[in-house]
Amino acid sequence: MVDAKDYASPVRPTWCTGCGNFGIWNALKNALADAGLAPHEVMLISGIGCGSKLPDYTTANGFLTLHGRTLAVATGARLANHGLKVICTHGDGDGYGEGGNHFVSAVRRNIGIVDIVQNNRVYGLTKGQYSPTSPHGFVTRTSPQGAIEQTFNPLAVAVAAGGTFISRGWSGDIKHLSWLMTEALGHRGYALVDVLQPCVTFNRRYSYDWLRPRVYKVQDEDVYDPGDKAAAFAKAQEWGERIPIGILYRTEDQPAYEEMVPALESGPLVRQPLHAKPLEEYQVLKQEYL
Amino acid sequence: MTVNGMTFKIGGEAGQGVESTGRGFAKALVRGGLHVFALQDYHSRIRGGHNFYQIRVAEHDLYSHDERVHLLLALTKVAIDEHLPEIVPHGGVIYDPALSVDEADLAARSVQAFPVPLEQIAVDEGGSKVMANTAAIGAAAGLTGYDMDVISGVIRDNFGKKGQEVVDANLTVASAARRFVEQEFPDALPFKLKKIEASPRMLISGNEALSLGALMAGCRFVAGYPMTPGSPILEWFSVRSKQWGVVTKHTEDELAAVNMVIGAAQMGVRAMTPTSGGGFALMVEGMGLAGLCEVPIVIVNVQRPGPATGLATRHEQGDLLFVIYATQGEFPRIVLAPGTIEQCFEAGWRAFNLAEKYQTPALIVSDAFLAHSPRALGMDAFDLAVPIDRGALLSEEELDKLAARYKRHLDTASGVSPRALPGHPNAVYSSASDEHDEYGQICEDAVVRIQQDEKRMRKLEAARADLEAPLRYGPPDADLTFLTWGSTVGPVRMAVDLLNEQGQSANVVQIMDVWPLPVDRVTAALQGAKRLIGVEQNHAGQLATLVRAYTGIKVDGLVRKYDGRPMSPEYILDQLKGVV
């Protein structure tokens, strides 16, 4: 029996008091315990940013990598050992900005990774510059006249790129977020969990008080069908007075990338011997050149 | 008349089958017991332009091409214009009369014209114009008197997949073209080819040998983004991935490639990414991550001329100092620079052992000339049972006995920390790309920073003592010593042979293990040199710079080339006049 406390670490987070990352962190520990996964059975991979420090504060296998490269490292780790549950925790700058190409590729690939994006719509660790998910017109130190770009919509992009599990949570509802992450952990391929979280220091505009009355759970709507891609695309556009959270799209019909790789049929790569066949069989490789 | 000492060159446009025809003929020569060295030259385009494939043949081992051509197969008029000056007196040109060549131009240089209606023969005998190249091979075999059974064998292998009908048609075309030249130009060409008794030999390139070496080291994960001339390594593994249990990934970019390799290696799989200089430039930050987190990865940089796109399909050795120094901050790395096909195989497996022994990135620096110049090698050139050394890797039993909290970056005398692969309940740890303490936790403490930095850099000194001494070719106490690295050693060896045949005394010192430079061994190899000439395919003389910086030994002169075309032995001897 795994308990969320098994993931506790003596290292104390450096996050600000009231940071949305606390909610995300607690929800993740709950979900891992609910899924019956012990700390040595998971691999937490992050990039750089406030949220990316999460593995450092958690007792579990972890790898804090480079800014933006989270999903690339995680993809290699998953292909090398699909016996471990690979989970990414990184921010919107890391995931959608610096790592944008890896994001689209991971969605298309349907690699078996749970991708938790700590989306506070601002750069926190570098002290308050606008991010890909900052709203148009957002005023920051690097956008003094307001951000000129349109806001990046990760859920719509994920639908367009052929995502198989596309969801949004919010850090103010740990119970719902824990459920969402448990569902994501049970998904067969790439699971996007975009989490709206306040940055209490650098993004006061999107505070708990702003978000709380706006979010609503799509799963509470009887008519919502998460198997309907067109509906998911429409839901992904909804923003403003009402913001949908929950599973916008899900299908379990598509195999994960690693299920399609012949070399992985005989088990996790790292558990296989260095050579797939007896050494004498490799002599045939020289014959090719005769 | 010369037997088994000539160069056959094929020139034509991209898309005309220059490479496949060349490789087919080269294979037929190797199967006849002959040594060959094949040089390829092509443009960065799919159709048109001017490409060539040049096959030097001898009864002894060859390390490079040279500049004399004895028989040219010209598929275009441009091929004649380009290569006529290279053809030796009494040499010849095979061409289709449709090309409207002025035979007087050839005669003026004592070059023989061999007009052969290749397309006509192909259509008449085989029914298809695409068999003109087969006709050309038949004509070349006829003019050189080469044994038809070996040519037929290669045709059978090459077209076997397309069915017996295609095989038979090609055999008929080749024989018809051969008969044609035997009737029209009997005994015209004084350069002959004849099969000899020899043990079977492979015709294999540097990229292929390097891939084979890596596979034998147990490389099970290869990720890369296509970039000439590194992509053939990714392709080599991709087409063999199912049979040999290798996971290969054509990634979205080079950033993904190196970082996937880091992810795979961190989990414990032997992993590699092949690229060229431009791709390597994108991998530099990732390499630093592997350095700081002590992840054993292998990166192959098959160099081409830069900067930026440079000369995409051509040759240069301009990345040596870049590969050695590329990083923000400092960390240990190992750099191997093979110069021959055999050394490519060796570097292919050694890199994995060194990476795991020192838990740090190991790089192989190859180049375009080495990558796609196939050479004939005996079957015993590679021993596939390569030594495997996984370094301080904790076994399942050792992990079971772990009592205290595991320290991934334990400060040890050697700098190497016993490594646990993620997944064991007794060794749950997190590695941070921030500076970290022995556990791998983020730490900004000054004392810890010094401890971890010094621990990592100690590995560099251990590796330095572990790397191999430079290789010498030629007599020990020569009057002239060349200093070189990478594929340039091939033409330099041939230049050394020529000088020694002329009664001079020369040798060459090749540094294969370039970083950390084995300073004592390099000094020992060079300090007795009477006159030291650096030979490098770059502008700055990068190896000479490195050697001077670390040993104080200065070259007396440099032979350089940076036009994108590999050096020939003749070029080296010619340039020598200017520097000595």
Over 90: is that where the pLDDT of B102 sits?
A: yes
Task: Supply A17's token pair.
Answer: 């008091």
Rounded to a whole number of angstroms, the distance from the CA of A71 to the nearest CA of chain B is 8
Domains and CATH numbers, chain B: 2-198 (3.40.920.10), 204-381 (3.40.50.970), 396-466 (no CATH), 471-579 (3.40.50.920)
Rounded to a whole number of angstroms, the distance from the CA of A75 to the nearest CA of chain B is 6
A193 Cβ contact list (under 8 Å, min separation 6): A114, A115, A116, A117, A167, A168, A169, A180, A181, A184
Contacts of B232 in chain A (CB under 8 A): none
Contacts of A112 in chain B (CB under 8 A): none
Contacts of B429 in chain A (CB under 8 A): 61-62
Over 80: is that where the pLDDT of B580 sits?
A: no
Residue with token string 């006849």: B32
Rounded to a whole number of angstroms, the distance from the CA of A216 to the nearest CA of chain B is 36
Contacts of A266 in chain B (CB under 8 A): 245
In A, minimum Cα distance to B382 occurs at: A286
Task: Kindly indicate the confidence band of residue A269, based on its pLDDT and cuts at 50, 70 and 90.
Answer: very high
What value does the mean pLDDT of chain A take?
97
Residue B493: which of B478, B479, B510, B517 has the closest Cα?
B510
Rounded to a whole number of angstroms, the distance from the CA of B430 to the nearest CA of chain A is 4
Model pLDDT for residues B516-559, shown as the tens digit of each residue: 999 999 999 999 999 999 999 999 999 999 999 999 999 999 99
Model pLDDT for residues B333-379, shown as the tens digit of each residue: 999 999 999 999 999 999 999 999 999 999 999 999 999 999 999 99
Model pLDDT for residues B130-174, shown as the tens digit of each residue: 999 999 999 999 999 999 999 999 999 999 999 999 999 999 999
Instruction: Find out whether the peptide bond into B229 is cis, omega within 30 degrees of 0.
Output: yes
Rounded to a whole number of angstroms, the distance from the CA of A239 to the nearest CA of chain B is 31
Over 90: is that where the pLDDT of B45 sits?
A: no
* Dihedral sign (CA B219, A65, A187, A225): negative
In B, minimum Cα distance to A108 occurs at: B252
Q: Cβ contact (<8 Å) for A289 and B259?
A: no
What average pLDDT does the segment B482-493 reach?
98
Bridge-partner residues for B482, per DSSP? B508, B533
Residue B160: which of B53, B35, B24 has the closest Cα?
B24
Task: Kindly indicate the confidence band of residue B469, based on its pLDDT and cuts at 50, 70 and 90.
Answer: very high
ipTM above 0.95, yes or no: yes
Contacts of A69 in chain B (CB under 8 A): 255-256, 259, 286, 289
Rounded to a whole number of angstroms, the distance from the CA of B377 to the nearest CA of chain A is 10
What average pLDDT does the segment B183-211 reach?
97
Interface A-B, measured as beta-carbon pairs within 8 A, has a size of 193
Rounded distance between C-alpha atoms, residue B224 and residue B366, angstroms: 16
In B, minimum Cα distance to A82 occurs at: B267
Instruction: Find out whether the peptide bond into B516 is cis, omega within 30 degrees of 0.
Output: yes
In A, minimum Cα distance to B27 occurs at: A290
Rounded distance between C-alpha atoms, residue B259 and residue A74, angstroms: 8
The dihedrals phi and psi of A70, each to the nearest 5 degrees, come to -50, -55
Name all contacts of A270-276 with Cβ < 8 Å and 24+ positions apart. Answer: A270/A80, A270/A81, A270/A83, A270/B267, A270/B268, A270/B269, A270/B421, A270/B423, A271/A81, A271/A83, A272/B220, A272/B245, A273/B218, A274/B217, A274/B218, A274/B220, A274/B270, A274/B388, A275/B216, A275/B218, A276/B220, A276/B244, A276/B245, A276/B246
Contacts of A46 in chain B (CB under 8 A): none
Over 90: is that where the pLDDT of B567 sits?
A: yes
Q: Cβ contact (<8 Å) for B430 and A84?
A: no
What value does the mean pLDDT of chain B take?
97
Q: Cβ contact (<8 Å) for B422 and A73?
A: no
What average pLDDT does the segment B489-512 reach?
98
Q: Cβ contact (<8 Å) for B263 and A269?
A: no
What pLDDT does B44 receive? Answer: 86
Provide the CB-side half-sphere exposure for B522 (13 A, CA): 27
Q: Does A150 or A1 have the greater pLDDT score?
A: A150
Question: A4-287 domain in CATH 3.40.50.970?
Answer: yes
Rounded to a whole number of angstroms, the distance from the CA of B194 to the nearest CA of chain A is 18
Contacts of A105 in chain B (CB under 8 A): 251-252, 256
Q: Cβ contact (<8 Å) for B252 and A74?
A: no
Model pLDDT for residues A167-202, shown as the tens digit of each residue: 999 999 999 999 999 999 999 999 999 999 999 999
Q: Cβ contact (<8 Å) for A81 and B255?
A: no
Nearest CB partner across the interface for A279, out of B384, B423, B429 = B384
What pLDDT does B524 receive? Answer: 98
Q: Is A206 helix (H, G, I), strand (E, B) or coil?
A: helix
Rounded distance between C-alpha atoms, residue A170 and residue A196, angstroms: 5
Contacts of B223 in chain A (CB under 8 A): 76
Model pLDDT for residues B260-291, shown as the tens digit of each residue: 999 999 999 999 999 999 999 999 999 999 99
Rounded to a whole number of angstroms, the distance from the CA of B245 to the nearest CA of chain A is 4
Task: Kindly indicate the confidence band of residue B46, based on its pLDDT and cuts at 50, 70 and 90.
Answer: confident
Residue in B344, B428, B437 to test binding to A, most A beta-carbons within 10 Å: B428
Contacts of B221 in chain A (CB under 8 A): 76, 79-80, 269
Q: Strands of B64-141 (E only): list them.
A: 69-74, 87-95, 112-115
DSSP B5: -
Q: Which helix (H) or strand (E) holds B41?
A: strand B35-41
What pLDDT does A222 receive? Answer: 87
CA B59 to chain centre: 23
Over 70: is that where the pLDDT of A139 sits?
A: yes
Task: Kindly indicate the confidence band of residue A34, based on its pLDDT and cuts at 50, 70 and 90.
Answer: very high
Contacts of B216 in chain A (CB under 8 A): 275, 282
Contacts of B441 in chain A (CB under 8 A): 11, 56
Nearest CB partner across the interface for A279, out of B253, B265, B385 = B385
Residue B466 CB neighbours (<10 A)? 15
What average pLDDT does the segment B82-91 reach?
97
Query: ∠ CA(B497), CA(B500), CA(B504), 5° rounding?
Result: 145
